[in-house]
Amino acid sequence: MTDAFVNPEPARGEIDALQGATLLEFGTAWCGHCRRAQPLIAAALAARPALRHLRIEDGPGRPLGRSFKVKQWPTLVFLRDGAEAERLVRPQAEADIAAALARIGA
């Protein structure tokens, strides 16, 4: 699991060009919902150390989050070969995250 937010955030074109499975996590360090979801995300990713996981700090004026139409944090966007395959907003269970990861082949 990635602890730090990607800085600067990648451009949408870079994300679209990614190959394989990727988890984009949109949120902020001060968001209570984001902090509450961290143990769930970490547990789901524990068995998948090779998975590409990008934590993207989101907020007004952040183009990547806007391009994915992120409205609430955390938003988890599951990509397969750069295309969105699934999304979870404010996940409540590790099992939901793990199932989405399995569906993208992670």
Tell me the pLDDT band of 7, cut-offs 50, 70 and 90.
confident
Strand order in the sheet with 83-89: 52-57, 21-27, 75-80, 83-89
pLDDT tens column, 77-99: 999 999 999 999 999 999 999 99
Neighbours of 89 (CB within 10 A): 14
| Class of CATH domain 12-103 | alpha beta
pLDDT tens column, 26-60: 999 999 999 999 999 999 999 999 999 999 999 99
